Amino acid sequence: MPQPKDLPGFYYDSEKSRYFPIKGPIPGSSSKPMTPALNSPQTSSNQESGGSCCRKLRNRTPSKLLRARELDGHCAIASRYCRSNFTEEFRKMQASRPVIWKYRGTDGMRITALEHLRVDVQTSAGKTETDVLLTGSTNGSMSFSQVGGVGRNHDGGTKWRADCVKNYVKGRTDENNEVLKPVFKPNRAALLMSSRISSIRLGPKFSSHAVNDGHIVGRALFTTLGSETSGGTVYTLDLVEPLNLGPGILNTWSGLEEIASFRGTIWTSEYDYNRHRAVIGTNLGAASVDLETGTMSWFLHCKSDVFAQQIVNSGNVILCGLRNGAIVTVDSRERRESLSGRLITHRIPYASSDKKVVGSNKEWFKLKGDIYPSHTIRMSSSISCLASLQFDDQYFLASSMDGSMKLYDLRLLQRGAVQCYEGHVNSHTRIQMGVDPSERFVMSGGNDCKLRLWSIKSGELLFEDKFSDSIISTVCYKTYGHSFKAEEENQYKCDSSQGAWLGSYEGLFYMCWL
């Protein structure tokens, strides 16, 4: 059968035997061939050029950008990566000059999961809206910490103050740094689970509780990894009622509910808002768990651990990243033919380069599930993280444990990556990527303990530096500003800028762009 021709603006779906329109690569993305692998001879020069690029960005000033725009006669500014406008270049310049704080005394937290949320908190003065960090650790500890408003309505606890460890803003010194808000952990704010916290995901937001630019979160989902004596467990925490972080803090944990337990390991999870279920990745495959009934349903069986997941297409499709480097597209909707509980068996061929990576002479590997074989791709090592983009969830970012980081279009997987991001360093660790709320930048820690930040559109490395002695393994963004009482504004920095919380075994960091 003759191969269908490529039509401009369309792609051909071989399973449905028809053409579909496409939006094409993200505007401004590089049209150059894919960059060489990180273990190629060009790696060191690429990293050097990335570092040079970071330094050049930090040396820019708004006046230089304005002068370039005025001399050019229009808003477009040419760079070695792509043609962009003044606003984009200014935001890149800001991203290349963050200010970074470390919270003193958080060294023993050993953070593995981290979320920033805005909730109602019950105090002696009544109910108030408060910013809270929900953290999970290697020893299975789950804990709440309050950001700002420290200790006023509590019966004791631990106060963590922030020290500025890096300041890349030109012309600013340690002496004129503003003081960042402290974080307060009340007594009895931690709950010890059976094993390491492997993931925390925030549930649906209640629009009736809208607060300024953010919304109050109604429910949180979290999972434990499992141990030699017990498997992983899925939990939910009800956050509709106000938290009591004072003497009645134990009432806060009364909203904790165990949903389902497994015999195996739970590596990751996602919250499917549309179907009110948890989607989990385990050492046996992927499953969904009804959060009301606890009913479990497997939609993917495989012998390779599911390390990463992403929900796309309103929950109809689940991307699963496997230990063997495959990214599998699974249709998680229940089909008539699958009502008997039997999953369809698929044989996915290995590429010649894949067999060397996984150390196997097999020509194929076996999966069971309602998958799209033509939408299965391979990266050169175990999948570390997947992250879809909200502006068009057909685009997703993927990183692997050999340091590869790429952007894909789900409609054009067989054509390869849309964009590549050079300089990432990894060899064996599951490291979370962080995409900012505006979806302009992607951030990730590395095995060399450096933090790096890239432009999603151009692939340009904007920031690269080491300020932690352990791997920055988890990232969550603050998406809205804070409101403070008058006495707090006098003492602490009123931070309405964009910022990210960073977690590592070494402790808690905060990074923002002024």
The SS3 of residue 442 is: strand
Six token digits for residue 346: 């698929």
pLDDT at residue 243, rounded to an integer: 81
Q: Extract the residue ranges of the chain whose pLDDT is less than 50.
A: 27-48, 71, 73-77, 81, 175-176, 206-215, 336-339, 352-359, 480-496
CA distance linking residue 242 with residue 221, whole number of Å: 17
Element (H, E) at 488: helix 486-491
| Backbone phi, psi, residue 70, to 5° | -65, -40
Check: CATH 2.130.10.10 for 262-448? yes
Comparing CA positions, the residue from 465, 384, 472 lying closest to residue 430 is: 384
Q: Which of 221, 370, 376, 365 is nearest to 297 (CA)?
A: 370
Q: What is the pLDDT of residue 203?
A: 83
Predicted confidence at residue 408, as pLDDT, reads 95
SS3 category, 513: coil
Residue 23 is which amino acid? Answer: K
Number of Cβ within 10 Å of residue 298's Cβ equals: 15
- What is d(CA 355, CA 380) in angstroms, rounded to the nearest whole number? 10
**Backbone phi and psi for residue 94, each to the nearest 5 degrees, phi listed first:** -65, -45
269, 199 contact by CB (below 8 A): yes
- CB contact at 8 A, 259 and 294: yes
Q: Which helix (H) or strand (E) holds 354?
A: helix 352-358
| Spatial CA neighbour of 277 closest among 285, 268, 287, 267 | 287
Q: Find, among 175, 215, 369, 405, the residue nearest to 281 by Cα.
A: 369
DSSP structure string for 93-151: HHHTS-EEEEETT-GGG-EEEEEEEEEEEEETTEEEEEEEEEEEETTSEEEEEEESSTT
Residue type, 493: K
| Tokens linked to 297 | 């349903």
Whose structure tokens read 């230990």?
323
Q: What is the pLDDT of residue 41?
A: 34
DSSP 286-347: EEEEETTT--EEEEEEESS-EEEEEEEGGGTEEEEEETTSEEEEEE-S--GGGTTSPPPEEE
Torsion, CA 315, CA 316, CA 322, CA 326, rounded to 10: -130
Give the per-residue pLDDT at 141. 94
The pLDDT of residue 177: 52
pLDDT value for 484: 36
- Confidence (pLDDT) at 345: 80
Calculate the CA dihedral of residues 43, 387, 497, 77 and round it to 10 degrees: 50
Give CB contacts under 8 A, 24+ apart, made by 408-413: 408/327, 408/377, 409/22, 409/25, 410/312, 410/317, 410/319, 410/329, 410/375, 411/11, 411/20, 411/22, 412/11, 412/22, 413/329, 413/374, 413/375, 413/377
Please write down the long-range contacts of 239-242, taking CB distance under 8 Å and 24 or more positions apart. 239/117, 239/119, 240/206, 241/120, 242/119, 242/120, 242/121, 242/122, 242/127
> What is the radius of gyration, based on Cα positions, of the chain?
24
Residue closest to 356 by CA, chosen among 374, 381, 331: 381
Say what the pLDDT of residue 36 is: 37
